[in-house]
Amino acid sequence: MKQSFHSGYVSIIGRANVGKSTLLNTMLDEKVSIVTRKPQTTRHHCLGIHNLEHAQIVFIDTPGIQKTPRQAINQYMNRQAAFAMQDVDVLLFMVEALKWQEQDEHVLNLLQSSRSSAKFLVINKADKADKAGDKTKLLPFIESLQAKTSFDEIFPISAKNKQGIQALEQAIIKYLPANMPIYPEDVISDRNERFFAAEYLREKLMMRLSDELPYELTITIDDFKEKNDVYHIYACIWVEKASQKNIVIGKQGEILKKAGKDARLDMEKLFAKKVNLKTWVKIKKKWTDSEQALKLFGYDN
């Protein structure tokens, strides 16, 4: 008998920095969503489409949910996550092994009202619990979460070390309805190349910059064209203050040069094209708390 095809939507939800984007990239074996050590890396929801022989899993990566979003941008990020909690086939609630925080409790409360058909608890960074000799603490940790709410499935994983991924994937498929593929098989995301160009550059800058700067910086792609088989990309980096502009550029342009080079190499890998990346830094005062500026910069729903 021919095996039927299954497809559906799976959201990855949790507080910042638990490893949601890392899981998406590991599942797809492709860098669809940017990852840094810093919290609040992901700002927009982003689809990652995982094509298998008998199933298509459409993952939705989301920004880490914040309990008290202070600025307009944080409110936007929460809206992006809330949207992804409704009407999906499976909700993956991701937490970090042995690290339960107030923000996790908040996300769990939001989860209770979601209309999704299945809810999985995904305990990430299980490798860390191993290393610290904390193996015996993992089971009581899982039991304490089970006592809070009932989950359809529970998976300890390491998204970074690719542990427990297969089992999670198989379980997800079991919960997807029998359906045709939702997207064509050669599509891996709903986002276009401009989006990835901006995100890759933001990732490399976030990695090199500290303090408030990673959060007060955004990228727009002002021009993106192909000429002689080369992508010519013009990116503008927006910051809030003149002092930040100097830091982003760095001494003798070092920071911008290095971040730009790293971003370009990642873009070339994803696009399978040579890339010529040009960057500018501009100032837009208090853009993170201005609905109007956010819209202008593509934070628009």
Ligand X SMILES: Nc1nc2c(ncn2[C@@H]2O[C@H](COP(=O)(O)OP(=O)(O)OP(=O)(O)O)[C@@H](O)[C@H]2O)c(=O)[nH]1
The reply to whether 42 sits near Mg ion by the rule CB under 5 A is yes
Neighbours of 69 (CB within 10 A): 14
- Give min distance, CB of 213 to ligand X, in A: 15
- Closest to 34 measured CA to CA, from 42, 44, 23: 42
Q: How far apart are CA 156 and CA 71, in angstroms?
A: 34
Q: How far apart are CA 93 and CA 97, in angstroms?
A: 12
75 binds, among Mg ion, ligand X, none (CB under 5 to 8 A by kind): none
Residue 172: φ, ψ to 5° = -60, -45
- Closest to 69 measured CA to CA, from 111, 19, 116, 16: 16
Q: How far apart are CA 180 and CA 182, in angstroms?
A: 6
- Cβ closer to Mg ion: 7 or 41? 41
> If you search the block for the tokens 């919960």, which residue do you land on?
175
- Cβ closer to ligand X: 40 or 56? 40
N residues, the chain? 301
- Give min distance, CB of 278 to ligand X, in A: 27
Q: What's the distance, CA 5 to chain centroid?
A: 27
- Give min distance, CB of 41 to ligand X, in A: 4
- Cβ closer to ligand X: 40 or 218? 40
The reply to whether 21 sits near Mg ion by the rule CB under 5 A is yes
- Give min distance, CB of 46 to Mg ion, in A: 9
Q: How far apart are CA 56 and CA 186, in angstroms?
A: 11
Neighbours of 149 (CB within 10 A): 13
**From 33-41, 66-74, 119-127, 247-255, span contacting Mg ion (CB under 5 A):** 33-41
149 binds, among Mg ion, ligand X, none (CB under 5 to 8 A by kind): none
Neighbours of 117 (CB within 10 A): 15
Nearest position to ligand X, beta carbon = 64
Binding site for ligand X (CB under 6 A): 14, 16-22, 35-37, 39-42, 63-64, 124-125, 127-128, 158-161
158 binds, among ligand X, Mg ion, none (CB under 5 to 8 A by kind): ligand X
- Cβ closer to ligand X: 80 or 244? 80
- Cβ closer to ligand X: 127 or 232? 127
> Interface with Mg ion by CB under 5 A: which residues?
20-21, 41-42
